[in-house]
Each structure stands twice: as structure tokens, then as C-alpha cells.
Structure 1
């Protein structure tokens, strides 16, 4: 079994390449049970979340000449980690041979998650963002921020990136890191003004109160909601949902786990039939993405085990040679 580090993941992938890998994965599909979701209570701080995300190649489908794979990701989300300088999200990804069950690789799960999450957002944007979208706002300056900035820049002609965070100093640190990578990025303190400026709004926070005000969005904006992964988390308000054509990564996951979908469904702001498509339907051409330059589109991602499987296979195959 090969141990694969974060640096090796970085050397194995490109955003443009992984977007296309995910497009093909959603087109073909895989077996992916709804993930296990467990709350780990702590007596001295916020509860952690344990996520178990299995998926495997459908051996009855075409295109499994490599014999297929089984993968499972083990993730912990610990909100209090930010206060001690550690990432909130940690994890490992185990890749196995689908026929024999033999372990093939143990991959840095945090880095794999960052790559596949950002690339799934970029995949959605390839269908939903205007083709001339050049202004990107990233809400949240955490570990996903640079990945989202680079992934969206791989599918749209992004010329300027603005970053907002509750802590302005962290927004500026994230912007400085992106500038060192050659991107035109700045930190901003006025979120409402930035929302009205952006062509694409990509939000990756664990907020329980909406940050994205639908009233501030201008026509033609694409909203990418990444952070909320429980029914109690919320990044966009009801107005943003009501003004948008709504899309999700998977219907099963988003309608059960994503507060930005679950809460509007419960209140009646959103009806099930208002969810226009998921990534399977978009990738297969079964449903349409953006239809006009003026409409607001909104994509809610909670993460799909298929994404991890596809990214894990891509990394393993590249390093295997």
C-alpha cells in the first residue's frame, strides 16, 4: 500500500484536469451510499463531526478496465481548531482494489478534499457561471480559499479576486498568498459591496447565520455555496435562494444535509421541483445550466463520495506511473 502525502497530491493534479475528471465521473456515476454523519460531543468546546464517505466503482458499468476501486474517506470537522492554528477539517482517504479488497493507497484526505471540493465547484461553474465572468469574491479565508480561487480561475477568465473574512487580517493574508502565486487578489472588509461587485461568489464558511444577502446580488451572478454541511448551517439567505435558479451536487445529499437547501424546503421558500439539476444531470446533458446572462444561479455543494473516489484514483494512477 502506498502512502501519499499532501505534496504528492499537489504534484499529481491540475485544476483543469481534475474538473474534467469529475465531469466524466458524474457522467458515468458510481455506487455512493449517503455518508455517515456523527456528532462527537466535547465537554470543553464545540462538538466535532465525524464523516465516513464510502464509494466504489460500479463493476456492472462500462469503462472499468482497471478492475475498479473502492474508496472511503474518514473526515473530522472540529470548529475549535481554528483558535489553535489547526485546520478545522482533517482526514484520510483509503483506496482499495474493488475485486480483491487489497489496500492500494492511503492518501492525505485533507488535501484530496480541498482539490475535489474546489474542482466540483468549478465544474458547476462551467455550466452555471457566465462565460465572461471575471470578478470572483471568496467568502471565508480558510484552507479552501486558495483552492476555490484557483479552481474557478481554471474555468472562467478571472481577472480580479476579492476575499472577505470575519477577521480582515486573515482575508489579507489569504490575498497575499494568492498574489505570490500570480493572482490579482485583495482582502476586503465590506461584504455587501463585494457581493454587488462580483460575477461569482464562492462561500466556504461554517456559518449558522446567512452571510450572502440576496438583495445585494446583481443580475447574472453565480453563487457557489461550499461550506455548510449540516441542516443547521446556512451561508445564503432566503432572498438569495428565491432569486436564484438552484442547483446541487447530489439531490440525496443536499436535500438531507445542506441547511441552505433543507431550511428553505422546510419553510416553503424552495420547493423540491425548484432544484433544477444536480451534477449528474448537468454532466450527462439531461438538464440545462445557465440559460440567460441576467439570471442568478446558485450551486450548493455538500460533497459527494464519488468526487473523492475519482480524485483518489487520479492521484494513485498518476503516481503509480
Structure 2
């Protein structure tokens, strides 16, 4: 068994490898080759906790993850977690992986993958990042290494000036970001929309990773109605877990909806403007953890115990 720290994961999960890992995860999931019971969600001291098991023919994983917004006040990441990877054949524990970095990498990689599918290109004219936390940082790190990006705009309540300086972006007001961005990543803990359709151009791609409860929204109705394609990580998951899907569906304003795995498997051409909504699924953790484990073994990375 090996232990992989956050630093180890950054070493083995280079952007190309990480994006291909989530590509494989979504493809297998939509093909019915990943079994994952619905995650158990628990509220502990007012904070969101999730337990996410899944298995394939070659790996079993369980992730315990939480989102604790007040951690920011203590200088800690708001997302914490651990992933346990085991053999489905022998039951042996193969690896224990730091969960917050794995989550950040696989979530950002899903947004990057959705963008590649939507743009059918490796170039982004103007990238807009809403938020300045850990997820925003990893979205920047992976996107800037996977795509050529002409311009980066960042907007948040605070800390976006530091993030912009670190990654060569511009710290701007939200209105400017929405008006001028070709690709927008919403990486917030807001429960009210930050992506406002009236401000968007007529050709955009949005990836939204927040709004994890049935009444929370990151994307407003105007954005939904303006889009031509709405795709998700799991129809079952978004139908139960996010107001960004539940509310527009109830109102009957949803455009054509696909799972991202279906788009990959059937080579479906995405029509823009487009939205990718992800709440995160266990298949991503499973496959990304397994590929990280294999890469670590090849390269002699990790702590053996």
C-alpha cells in the first residue's frame, strides 16, 4: 500500500493525464461500467459532508469529503477529504490519497474536458474565473497548461487580486467578466446566481461546479434559456443535488440535456452557447485515483507502508 500526498498527486496527475482520467471516468460511467451507489450526504455542524463509494472491474474506492466554508478564516482549504483505493478482487488496500487535492484536480479537469468538447479547440480567447479559492486556483493551473489562453479575467469577493497576480490575469468586476469571457468557470460557494445571462455574449461556454443543494444556484434562468446545450456529469446526481438543474427543469426552460459520457461515447457535437453542470461523481475519484496509483508505482512516488 502507498500513501499519496497532495504534492505527490500534483506530480503524477499532470493536466493531460488528469483530463484523460476524467474522460475515461465519464465514458465508463455512462456506459454502465462504473457502479456507484448514490452518495450519502450528511450535515455535520452545519457543513456538507459526503461519502462516495464506487467500483469497477479493477478498482474500488471510497471518498469522504466535506465542504467547510469557514475554513478560509483559519487559512485552511474549504474542501477536505481522503480517498481509499482498494482491489475489488483481493480486498487489499492499494493506496490512501489526499482527498482535497484529488478533488480539486479531477473537478478542474472535468471543466477543462467540457471546454475542449464545447470549443473543439485547444485555444481560449478570454477565460473568466468566478471565485478565488482552491477550486479557482486549480482550474487556472490545469487550464493554462492544457489550453493556450489569450486573456484571463478573475472576479471574487476577495483574494482575486492575489490570484490574478500569481497567474497573470486581470482582477475585474463580475459584470466585466461576464460580458467579455468566452469561457466561464463558476467555482463559488454562493447559493445565488453569479452567472447572469443578460450580461453574456451569444457564444459562451460555462462550467459550474458549485450550488450543491436543491435550492442553491450559480447559474440564473436567463443563462439557461440562452444556452443550446446543457450537459452534466450524471443526470441522476444533478436531478437530486443542485438547484441549477432542478429549478430550470421544473420550470420547463431546459435546453437539450446530455451526460458528458454520452457526448464522449457517441461523439455528439455540442452546440454553443453551452453549459456544463457538475456536482462531482464517485467515478471521477475512482478512475483518477487508480491512474494516479498506477503512475506513482511506475515512477516510485509515494510512501510505502
Task: Tell me if both proteins adopt one fold, taking TM over 0.5 as the criterion.
Answer: yes
Relative to structure 1, the CA distance from residue 227 to residue 5 in structure 2 (aligned partners, 3 Å threshold; closer, same or farther) is same
Retained in 2: the 8 A contact 1:129–1:297?
A: no
**Distance in 2, Cα, partners of 1:298 & 1:77:** 23
**Distance in 2, Cα, partners of 1:86 & 1:26:** 30
The answer for the alignment partner of 1:288 in structure 2 is 269
Retained in 1: the 8 A contact 2:26–2:233?
A: no
Q: Secondary structure at the match of 2:81?
A: strand
Deviation at residue 308 of structure 1 after TM alignment? 0.6
The answer for the alignment partner of 1:257 in structure 2 is 241
Deviation at residue 286 of structure 1 after TM alignment? 5.4
Q: Secondary structure at the match of 1:283?
A: helix
Equivalent position to 1:37, from 19, 41, 50: 41
Retained in 2: the 8 A contact 1:246–1:275?
A: yes
Retained in 2: the 8 A contact 1:126–1:155?
A: no
**TM-score, with structure 1 as normaliser:** 0.87
**Distance in 2, Cα, partners of 1:286 & 1:319:** 31
Further displaced range: 248-257 or 125-134: 125-134
Equivalent position to 1:142, from 126, 133, 139: 133
The answer for the alignment partner of 1:198 in structure 2 is 181
Alignment of structure 1 residues 1-321 onto 2, 5 Å: 1-29=1-29, 30-40=34-44, 42=45, 47-57=46-56, 59=57, 68-129=58-119, 131=121, 132-167=123-158, 170-178=159-167, 184-188=168-172, 190-244=173-227, 245-270=229-254, 274-285=255-266, 287-290=268-271, 295-321=272-298
Retained in 2: the 8 A contact 1:125–1:152?
A: no
Q: Which consecutive residues of structure 2, in runs of 5 or more, have no partner in the other structure?
A: 299-305
Q: CA RMSD in A?
A: 1.5
Deviation at residue 22 of structure 1 after TM alignment? 1.9
Deviation at residue 120 of structure 1 after TM alignment? 0.8
Retained in 2: the 8 A contact 1:72–1:93?
A: yes
Retained in 1: the 8 A contact 2:230–2:256?
A: yes
Q: Kindly provide the CA deviation profile for residues 239-268 of structure 1, in whole angstroms up to 9, marking residues without a partner as x.
A: 001111211111111111111111212233
Q: Which consecutive residues of structure 1, in runs of 5 or more, have no partner in the other structure?
A: 60-67, 179-183
Q: Secondary structure at the match of 1:159?
A: strand
**Distance in 2, Cα, partners of 1:121 & 1:298:** 10
Further displaced range: 235-244 or 258-267: 258-267
**Distance in 2, Cα, partners of 1:275 & 1:307:** 24
Deviation at residue 25 of structure 1 after TM alignment? 2.7
**Distance in 1, Cα, partners of 2:88 & 2:47:** 31
Deviation at residue 299 of structure 1 after TM alignment? 0.7
Retained in 2: the 8 A contact 1:206–1:233?
A: no
**Distance in 1, Cα, partners of 2:4 & 2:183:** 33
**Distance in 2, Cα, partners of 1:88 & 1:150:** 18
**Distance in 2, Cα, partners of 1:130 & 1:165:** 28
The answer for the alignment partner of 2:303 in structure 1 is none
**Distance in 1, Cα, partners of 2:210 & 2:142:** 16
Higher relative contact order (CA 8 A, sep 6+): 2
Q: Kindly provide the CA deviation profile for residues 127-176 of structure 1, in whole angstroms up to 9, marking residues without a partner as x.
A: 11363532100000000112112333344431211110012xx0011112
